[in-house]
Amino acid sequence: MISQTFYCEMLSSLTRAMLSSSSPPPSSHLLLTHSSHCLKTPNLSHRQCKQQKRWTHGSQRASRVVAYYGLKEPPYKLDALEPYMSRRTLEVHWGGHHRNYLEGLNKQLEKSDILYGYTFDELVKATYNNGNPLPEFNNAAQVWNHDFFWESMQPGGGDMPKLGVLEQIEKDFGSYTSFREKFIEAALTLFGSGWVWLVLKREERQLKIVRTSNAICPLVWDDIPIICLDMWEHAYYLDYKNERGKYVDTFMNHLVSWNAAMVRMARAEAFVNLGEPNIPVA
């Protein structure tokens, strides 16, 4: 389905650069099937691209301007999170749900005239349309959310955050224990399907715990997500059935990747001034 002409890879975050998958298949997010020249002249691009199409022979598909997104693999093997999250769950969650959202999104983008050339973050914000989400939002946001989720976990995760992240947590929540309690409570009192996030709020320059329903992602409020937890039933049902509490505990104890959190905080600090560094006097 993805054309053989050249593609341009746009990596939208430091995280992705650092956590790039070691195995071959599509790890990039944005594949263009036509010259990127088209995108630089947005006023005419649409029409111009369509006119240029007539000159090529070969399949129509190869010369139309479309944006396809590839399915990103989690940065670990599917059984690497055992016994806390089974391989079966990863297979169905990533290979089924996540893949379906992505394929749905690509199908929708095929028909869309205006939604191309975006980085993934921008696509989520654009389709959110300031609170009036377009039909593509659900798929786009869910793909983003799940990508973020896989990267928020690691084999041998859990434990405690360190260094800057720990300092910031202690500053904004009092202590790690207090943060952990609040996070778990937020997860357990979520009604219906949704996500729990630790985000850095730009204006308030603070870490906050945020809950979202269904597919909503804090990107749309311009927050910077640090870690997230999927509270849709499909995320835990095969392993924990109805025991949400156990799932959330296990996530905090054994799965959450504070390394990923550190990378994201480091990047976030480029955008949010969290305070002066401690420079020793002499």
Partner 1 sequence: MALRALAARKSLAGSGFQRILGARGLQTFSLPDLPYDYGALEPAISAEIMQLHHQKHHQAYITNYNKALEQLDAAIAKGDASAVVKLQSAIKFNGGGHVNHSIFWNNLSPVKEGGGEPPHSSLGWAIDQSFGSFDALITKMNAEGAGLQGSGWVWLALDKELKKVVVETTANQDPLVTKGASLVPLLGIDVWEHAYYLQYKNVRPDYLKNIWKVINWKYASQVYEKESA
Contact residues for partner 1, defined by CB under 8 A: 92, 96-97, 100, 138, 191-194, 213-215, 232-234, 237-238, 241-242
User: Which of residues 95 and 174 has its CB atom nearest to partner 1 in the complex?
Assistant: 95
Rounded to a whole number of angstroms, the minimum distance from the CB of residue 238 to partner 1 is 7
CB of 97 to partner 1, least distance (A): 5
> Which CB atom, from 8 or from 188, has the smaller least distance to partner 1?
188
The alpha-helical segments, DSSP class H, found in the chain are 14-18, 37-40, 42-53, 60-63, 87-92, 99-111, 120-128, 135-151, 163-173, 176-188, 237-240, 244-250, 258-268
In the bound state with partner 1, the residue whose beta carbon lies nearer, of 52 and 193, is: 193
Pairwise CA distance, residues 242 & 247, whole Å? 9
CB-based contact 256:158 (threshold 8 Å): yes
H or E element, residue 151: helix 135-151
- Chain mean position to CA 99: 14
- Amino acid identity of residue 276, one-letter, is E
Closer CB to partner 1, 55 or 191, in the complex = 191
Phi, psi of 228 (to 5 degrees): -145, 160
Q: How far is the CB of 228 from partner 1 (least distance, A)?
A: 16
Q: Please check whether residue 231 is in contact with residue 244, taking contact to mean a CB–CB distance below 8 angstroms.
A: yes
| Residue 248 exposed, middle or buried by CB count within 10 Å (0-12, 13-18, 19+) | buried
Nearest residue (CB) to partner 1, 50 versus 97 = 97
CB of 47 to partner 1, least distance (A): 34
Q: Least Å distance between CB 93 and partner 1?
A: 8
CB nearer partner 1, residue 78 or residue 263: 78
Q: From the CB of 242, what's the least distance to partner 1, in Å? A: 4
